[in-house]
Amino acid sequence: MVYVDGQLLPEKDAKVSVFDHGLLYGDGVFEGIRFYNSRVFKLEEHIDRLYDSAKAIHLDIGMDHAAVCAAVCDTIRANDLHDGYVRLVVTRGAGGLGLSPYRCETASVIVIASKITLYPEENYRDGLKLVTCATRRPTADSLSPAVKSLNYLSNVMAKIEAIAAGAEEGVMLNTQGLVSECTGDNVFVVKDGKISTPPVSAGILDGITRRVVIDLAREAGHELVERDLSRYDLYTADEVFLTGTAAEVIPVRVYDEREIGDGKPGPVTTEMMTAFRSLVESTGTEIYS
């Protein structure tokens, strides 16, 4: 069952217009949200970011915050799910051909709830292989990286490069040649016990899982800084791990054919994985209460 503009419809009946601006121009915003043990993790934070993204592109969602939260939980319940992933999409809606958004009278809100397995379990045990992608992260003066928009073509192109190189993920650089983020995940490095991650100014999406891990690391007493990172910093790191809603916290074993540390998940990475999984299993918005 898929939520489309106030209705829960069977998958085969869940459709959008061919004149929808999200389809024609990538004009819209989205969120990926996880739920565990019948609780939606960081639901309020995800919906807050959805509204911030929509405001930034001058898109009126047409529903209040509470109604969108309710739509997420309603969709999960309609599918009788307890652990999984939600894709929440807001498009500009149907209008005519042409770029003007003002021909779209009403935004379209779509909620899909399903199971997800982004990476096999062995990647969490052994780590990912990463490569540097030629496709650069879009610059902030074209579209703010804080906007989680439907236009992910640069990420798709970078993912194609990573797959072609036999890697699970690709590292995207910004126009200065510094590490920005991966195609769908934020990047952390550990060197001499200190944790570093690129700042928002590096052209990254300020991921919600990223924020959670920063808080967990500092609460555990780790020194963590947000600073510019080069490929050299990743090549010579003791540990590298990625964070993302779908990926959660996952280690990296190889980057550009350089083994990270001893090629196995390090103690800080393992600690963050354990702490994150403990948190998501015990907190969140109740779905079936």
Tell me how far apart the alpha carbons of residues 169 and 183 are, in angstroms, rounded to a whole number: 7
Long-range contacts of 192-196 (CB under 8 A, 24+ apart): 192/238, 193/222, 193/223, 193/268, 194/222, 194/223, 194/224, 194/225, 195/222, 195/223, 195/224, 195/225, 195/268, 196/224, 196/225, 196/226, 196/227, 196/229, 196/233
- Count CB-CB contacts under 10 A for residue 139: 13
191, β-bridge pairs: 194
The amino acid sitting at 31 is E
Tell me how far apart the alpha carbons of residues 164 and 253 are, in angstroms, rounded to a whole number: 18
Tell me how far apart the alpha carbons of residues 64 and 41 are, in angstroms, rounded to a whole number: 20
Q: E strand or H helix at 33, and its extent?
A: strand 28-36
128, β-bridge pairs: 252
190, β-bridge pairs: 195, 239
Q: Is 157 left (phi over 0), alpha (psi -120 to 50) or beta?
A: alpha
Active site residues: 148
